[in-house]
Amino acid sequence: MIGKIKVGHWEDKSALTGCTVFLLPKECIVSCDVRGGAPGTRETELLKPLFTVDKADAILFTGGSAFGLGAAQGVMKYLEERSVGFPTPAGPVPIVSAAVIYDLDFGDSSARPGPEEGYEACLAANVNEFREGSVGAGMGATVGNILGRSNSTKSGLGFFRYRSGDFMLEAAAVVNSLGEVVSENGEILAGPRGQDGKFISAEEVLISSWGLLCTKGYNTTLVLIATNARITVEQCSRLALQGHNGIARAIRPSHTRYDGDTVYVVATQELDVSIDAVEVLAARGCAEAIRNAVLRAESVGGIPARCDILA
């Protein structure tokens, strides 16, 4: 990824869970914004403007719900062994922020990423990792979960990449949403499936007589936006806000009380550019990464992907 950001995955293809780590160069400025009503996170508050640090050493996306946060300990061990972290009198303390998706009802609920799995993801990390679909934290991801996992559509991890001269912006998204993913013109790309197996609108389900009486779900969309722009932590926070606008463009409905939607922004401080243009690209890139997460997905664990539904 941009500026020597390394991406590494661990996944269990039989238990249908996994984790994805982003190892960050020391010059990165980092911020985070959580807008969903049901987040599972670690060290996100620390990354807001006005707090003690404006950097992180790694960001972890993981399955396993709150249990999966334990994988961050493995990332910390990996970084500590390499003397990476926030300087303290007792030595560096790695700053590892993490966010989870709920995939315990898909595959083996007793299998969750832990310290060993987080460490393995770090060992696998490299700058050329751009696989999409059912990889890493995307292994257990589905969309359109409003009617339950059995009526959802397989999703995963998606990327967006933009280059213009020396400027770069990339986005990565793990999409495990209550609602459906839509194209720029509003077409449902993947979502809840009705009795005939075709896509139906999650919003229409929500406002139906059934939806008004009974709504539940455990979902989240996780996004990382990376750019080589030279910007402040406050501007990073603005980009995270625009990332949430991208979520709202691509997922209907988004930011529900059952979704833990979380956006990270990483800036490698290499190039002076217009922050307004970067904000536009952050929203667009987030939306496109989300769409790619369902367009690149393949059927796993009995849950069909878009490509099979439309075949």
DSSP, collapsed to helix, strand or coil, labels residue 68 as helix
Over residues 110-139, the mean pLDDT reads 97
What's the pLDDT band for 151 if we cut at 50, 70, 90?
Answer: very high
Residue 85 pLDDT > 90, yes or no?
yes
In the predicted model, what is the mean pLDDT of the chain? Answer: 94
- Asked whether the predicted pLDDT for residue 106 surpasses 80, the reply is yes
Residue among 129, 157, 130 at smallest CA distance from 141: 157
Given phi > 0 = left and psi -120 to 50 = alpha, else beta, which region is 148?
A: left
Q: How far is CA 72 from CA 28, 101, 122, 308, in A?
A: 19, 14, 10, 35
Q: How far apart are CA 4 and CA 27, in angstroms?
A: 11
pLDDT number for residue 292: 98
Give residue-wise pLDDT tens across range 3-39.
899 999 999 999 999 999 999 999 999 999 999 899 9
DSSP lists the bridge partners of residue 97 as: 59
pLDDT value of position 53: 83
What does the pLDDT read at residue 207? 85
pLDDT confidence bin for 218, thresholds 50/70/90: confident
| Residue 81: pLDDT over 90 | yes
| Confidence (pLDDT) at 208 | 80
% of residues, the chain, pLDDT over 90: 86
Q: How far is CA 208 from CA 41, 45, 175, 193, in A?
A: 32, 37, 25, 15
Q: CB of 69 within 8 A of CB of 42? A: yes
Per the DSSP assignment, residues forming a β-bridge with 230 are none
Listed in sequence order, the residues at least 6 apart from 208 whose beta carbon sits closer than 8 Å to its beta carbon are none
pLDDT in tens, 29-69: 999 999 989 999 999 999 988 787 889 999 999 999 999 99
Residue 214 pLDDT > 80? no
pLDDT at 176: 97
pLDDT band at 262 (very low <50, low <70, confident <90, very high): very high
First to last CA, the chain: 33
Which amino acid belongs to residue 206? Answer: L
Residue-by-residue DSSP string for 196-252? TS-B--HHHHHHSHHHHH-----BEEEEEEEEEE---HHHHHHHHHHHHHHHHHHEE
pLDDT at residue number 217: 67
Domains of the chain (ranges, CATH numbers): 2-309 (3.60.70.12)
